[in-house]
Chain A
Amino acid sequence: MEDFFANLVLGFQVALTPTNLGFALLGCLVGTLIGVLPGIGPVATVAMLLPLTFKLEPVSGLIMLAGIFYGAQYGGSTTAILVNLPGETSSVVTCIDGHQMARQGRAGAALAIAALGSFFAGCFSTLLIALFSPPLAKVGMSFGAPEYFSLMLLGLVAAVVLAHGSVVKAIAMVVLGLLLGLVGIDGNTGGARFTFGTIVLSDGIGFVPLAVGIFGLGEIIANLTSPGKQRSLVQEKISRLWPTAEDFRLAWPAVLRGTGLGSLLGVLPGGGATLSSFAAYVLEKKIAKDPSRFGNGAIEGVAGPESANNAGAQTSFIPMLTLGIPGNAVMALMIGALTIHGIQPGPQVMTERPSLFWGMVASMWIGNLMLVVINLPLIGMWVQLLKVPYRLLNLAILLFCAIGVYTVNNNVFEVMLTALFGVLGYVFIRLECEPAPLLLGFVLGPLMEENLRRAMKIAGGDPMIFVERPISLGLLIATVLLLLVVALPAIRGKREEVFQEG
Chain B
Amino acid sequence: MKRLTLALLSTLALAISGAAVAQDKYPSKPVKLLVPYAPGGATDITSRLFGEQLKNILGQQFVVESKPGAFGILAIEEMARSKPDGYTLFVGNVSTNAITPVLFKKKFSIDFDKSVVSVSRLAIYPSFLITTTTNFDVKSVSELVAYAKKNPGKVRYTSAGVGSFPHFDMEIFGRRATVDMVHIPNKTGAAGMINDLVVGDAHTAFLNAASAAAMIKAGKLRPIAVLAERRLTDYPDVPTLAEAGFPGVGTLHWQSMFAPAQTPKPVLDTLFKAIVEASKAPALQEAFAKQLVSVKPSTSLDEAQTWLNGELDTWRKITSEVKIDLTD
Contact = CB atoms under 8 A, between A and B. Distances in A.
A46 B39 CA distance: 9
Nearest to A55: B52
Nearest to A202: B70
Given A188-B162, A329-B38, A410-B67, A344 B194 contact: no
B328 interface: yes
Contacts of B291: 339, 342
Given A188-B185, A325-B194, A347-B220, A333 B107 contact: no
Given A51-B48, A202-B69, A190 B38 contact: no
Interface stretch (A140-148, A223-231, A418-426): A140-148
Nearest to A340: B45
Interface in B21-58: 38-41, 44-45, 48-49, 52
A337 B40 contact: yes
B251 interface: no
A468 B139 CA distance: 29
A50 interface: yes
A190 B200 contact: no
Contact of B44 (A145, A324, A336): A336
B73 A199 contact: yes
A459 to B, nearest CB: 11
Given A324-B215, A325-B195, A336 B39 contact: yes
B315 to A, nearest CB: 16
B161 A187 contact: yes
Nearest to A341: B290
A411 B67 contact: yes
Interface in A139-172: 141-145
A197 B328 contact: yes
A501 interface: no
A347 B220 CA distance: 9
Contact of A326 (B161, B191, B213): B191
A199 B45 CA distance: 26
A187 B198 contact: no
Interface string B182-195: 10111100010011
Contacts of A141: 198-199
Given A188-B162, A192-B327, A342-B291, A411 B185 contact: no
Interface string B298-328: 0000000000000000000000000011111
B287 interface: yes
Contact of A187 (B74, B156, B185): B185
Interface in A444-502: 450, 454, 457-458, 460
A325 B201 contact: no
Among A142, A200, A325, A326, max chain B CB count under 10 A is at A325
Given A325-B191, A336-B45, A341-B290, 10 more contacts: A141-B198, A141-B199, A190-B161, A192-B327, A199-B69, A203-B68, A325-B198, A337-B40, A344-B214, A347-B217
What 3 pairs between A and B have smallest CB-CB spacing? A346-B214, A336-B40, A342-B290
Interface of B: 38-41, 44-45, 48-49, 52, 64-71, 73-74, 107, 153, 156, 161-163, 182, 184-187, 191, 194-195, 198-201, 210-211, 213-215, 217-218, 220, 287, 290-291, 324-328
Interface of A: 46-47, 50-51, 54, 141-145, 187-192, 197, 199-200, 202-203, 269, 323-326, 329, 332-337, 339-342, 344-349, 409-411, 450, 454, 457-458, 460
13 contacts: A50-B39, A187-B187, A188-B162, A188-B185, A190-B326, A203-B70, A323-B195, A332-B40, A335-B191, A337-B40, A339-B291, A346-B213, A347-B218
